[in-house]
Amino acid sequence: MSSNNPYDAVPEIDFAPESTEQILSDMVDTYEQSIFEQTGRMEKLPTASREKIILNTMAYLISELYQDFGNRAKMNLPKYSAGSFLDVLASFWGLTRRTATPAIGEVEFTLSAVREEDIFIPKGTRISPGDKLFFQTDEDLIIRSPNTSGRVGITCQQAGEVGNGFSEGRINIIVDPVAYVSKVKNIEKTQGGADVEDDLSLRTRIFYAPKGYSVAGPAEAYQFWVREFSQAIEGVGVSTPEPGKVDICLTLQDGEIPEEPYLERLKEFLENKRPLTDDLTLRAPDVVEFDLEITYYINKSDANRELEIKASVEAAVQSYLSWQESTIGRDLNPDKLVALVIAAGAKRLEVTAPQHQVVAADEIFKHRSAKVNYGGLEDD
């Protein structure tokens, strides 16, 4: 099963393994042994004795100190580090936390009629989907006569995820009028906008950073450079179907499938990073569709929480879909669905679909339909 977090394969480590109970036991043993050595008497401390209460308090405080020291020590390791500690670790590899980046897309301008002269649309021309959000053209566009339309890339003026998800045709308002241009529309869904880079994304870049120094084109180096393009990229799969051929498939945040304009910009970014002998192919992963249908039941003893549990089950199903569809190469796993629904308060559930299914490394599951049936209350 694939994961977007490369540290999942790194062993866990604990700098403060001893529990409060173990510390207390060691302290009591040491105390009793000291009494024996000084007096020759072997005494067991009563549970409610003054000495035992003092030692218990000390054991708790020592345990807290151990945990604090342990947590601080872990901050020196990328697997556990966070916040400003992680920023310092990233700086050792010449990396910085990425600021918010804007969404991108592509639009088509259309003229009101055929013109004898070429029509010039300047770089920075603003268009909008409404709601006081603006995109601007990335470069000058010349619509050559006798053509009546032309396409150009656009970038949202506001950084972050706010510019994502405008489906084809939604961006259709010309803010800066251009003579003889009658309409505009985006031809692909806008995507690629990302908020300030989170810890997981920065950790992942640190993990692949050493491979980025290679000029031999290993898979891990491409993992690094693809992620350097934007923190909006979440899943990356790299394969070499034959010598000199490199196939890269990727997903954006939450498993979103990248559109062609985004892939084209990424390929331009990688052009001076790849070895000259590598022939790159960038693409979205192959989508494998599945259906979801379950019937769940609630204990009669939970009848007073029936509405609450129903809502929790619906949320659990959405969480499962988000988890299942977020990672390239993740096998279809109904066991995860069962665990989430039971944790949401259901007594049991019957899974009609999906069934467990293995997926290839360059494939990703997306649901075609989701049907959640409530079977009613059952005896505990």
How do the pLDDT tens digits run along the chain, 380 residues long? 566 788 988 999 888 767 888 888 888 899 889 888 888 888 888 888 898 899 999 999 998 998 899 999 999 999 999 999 999 999 999 999 999 999 999 999 999 999 999 999 999 999 999 989 999 999 999 999 999 999 999 999 999 999 999 999 999 999 999 999 999 999 999 999 999 999 999 999 999 998 887 754 678 889 999 999 999 999 999 988 888 899 999 999 989 999 998 999 999 999 888 888 889 999 999 999 999 999 999 999 999 999 999 999 999 999 999 999 999 999 999 999 999 999 999 999 999 999 999 999 899 999 999 999 999 999 98
348 in the same domain as 293? yes
Of 186, 210, 237, which residue constitutes the final position of a domain? Answer: 186
Q: How far apart are the first and last CA of the chain?
A: 35
Write phi, then psi, for 241 (nearest 5 degrees).
-60, -25
- Closest residue by Cα to residue 325 from 167, 317, 340: 317
Beta bridge partners, 155, equal 104, 136
328 in the same domain as 356? yes
269 in the same domain as 293? no
Report residue 103 as tokens: 């969404």
**In a domain? residue 213:** yes
- As a whole number of angstroms, the distance between CA 170 and CA 207 comes to 39
**In a domain? residue 86:** no
294 in the same domain as 272? no
**Domains in the chain, number:** 4
DSSP-derived 3-state class of residue 86: helix
Tell me if the bond preceding 46 is cis, omega within 30° of 0.
Answer: no
User: What is the structure's pLDDT at 18?
Assistant: 73
305 in the same domain as 277? no
pTM equals: 0.75
**CATH number of the domain encompassing residue 264:** 3.30.300
299 in the same domain as 274? no
User: What is the structure's pLDDT at 156?
Assistant: 98
Report residue 232 as tokens: 């909006």
User: What is the structure's pLDDT at 15?
Assistant: 84
**In a domain? residue 93:** no
**In a domain? residue 92:** no
223 in the same domain as 148? no
How many Cα atoms sit within 13 Å of 23 on the Cβ side?
A: 18
Q: Write the DSSP symbol of residue 98.
A: P
Of 132, 159, 186, which residue constitutes the final position of a domain? Answer: 186
User: What is the structure's pLDDT at 194?
Assistant: 95
**In a domain? residue 81:** no
298 in the same domain as 274? no
Q: Write the DSSP symbol of residue 212.
A: G
**In a domain? residue 145:** yes
Beta bridge partners, 254, equal none
Domain that holds residue 233: 199-284
119 in the same domain as 68? no
**In a domain? residue 262:** yes
Of 133, 157, 186, which residue constitutes the final position of a domain? Answer: 186
224 in the same domain as 181? no
**In a domain? residue 62:** yes
52 in the same domain as 132? no
- As a whole number of angstroms, the distance between CA 289 and CA 367 comes to 5
